[in-house]
């Protein structure tokens, strides 16, 4: 796994062996940062279900001011720490271990705000895993629509394996922007409502 652009271009990342995490492909990462590159400079970035941190470290490479990683798995957290150290970006990185929704509540209580949030919740090809992924999609959108964690105009991206049965409704603190198919995955984009 390598960083594909920016100041850390071609630097390698350690990744988990087995099925503990599922790294986001270069195609999806490239498409994501093409969409939000204009907002990356000096952005505070939140990487949820972070795994090895490919998305967050790519954000730092492309100009993000800081990245907060949230990951439950201990092995993945160790890899995040090792990757941050090897890349020399420890001062720009915060790693939170635990349940994503509990950590979101804590970040909200601390008054944190982020310009871009990327969520890559667990999913797989089985019907049960697809359903779990869709449940995360709805739960995440509902949470961000009720909590002002995104800066006005900020972006929320959620990766899914398959197209959702319907787009989650959001109207308070964020609104649906678009959905794109990128190879085998779908990327849902929401935007924080200006002046909310």
Q: State pLDDT tens for residues 118-129.
A: 999 876 555 555
- Cα 5 from Cα 8, distance rounded (Å): 7
Q: How confident is the model at residue 21 (pLDDT cuts 50, 70, 90)?
A: low
- Cα 64 from Cα 104, distance rounded (Å): 20
**pLDDT value, residue 122:** 78
How far out from the chain centre does Cα 140 lie?
A: 11
pLDDT at 194 over 60: yes
pLDDT, the chain, mean: 88
**pLDDT value, residue 50:** 95
**pLDDT value, residue 79:** 94
Q: pLDDT by residue (tens digit) across 66-95?
A: 999 999 999 999 999 999 999 999 999 999
Assigned architecture for domain 26-192: 3-Layer(aba) Sandwich (3.40)
Higher pLDDT, 169 or 129: 169
Q: What is the pTM for the complete model shown? A: 0.91
Domain coordinates in residue numbering, the chain: 26-192
């Amino acid at each position: 796994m390598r960083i594909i652009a920016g100041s850390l271009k071609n630097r390698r990342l350690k990744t988990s062996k087995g099925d503990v995490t599922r790294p986001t492909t270069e195609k999806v990462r490239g498409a994501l940062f093409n969409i939000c590159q204009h907002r990356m400079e000096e952005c505070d970035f939140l990487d949820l279900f972070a795994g090895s941190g490919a998305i967050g470290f790519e954000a730092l490479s492309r100009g993000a001011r800081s990245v907060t990683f949230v990951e439950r798995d201990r092995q993945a957290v160790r890899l995040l720490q090792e990757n941050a150290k090897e890349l020399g970006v420890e001062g720009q990185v915060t790693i939170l271990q635990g349940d994503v929704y509990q950590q979101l509540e804590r970040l909200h209580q601390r008054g944190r705000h982020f310009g871009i949030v990327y969520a890559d919740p667990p999913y797989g090809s089985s019907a049960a895993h697809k359903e779990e992924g869709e449940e995360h999609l709805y739960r995440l959108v509902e949470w961000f629509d009720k909590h002002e964690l995104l800066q006005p105009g900020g972006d929320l991206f959620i990766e899914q394996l398959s197209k959702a049965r319907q787009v989650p409704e959001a109207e308070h603190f964020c609104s649906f922007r678009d959905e794109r198919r990128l190879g085998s995955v779908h990327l849902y984009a929401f935007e924080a409502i200006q002046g909310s």
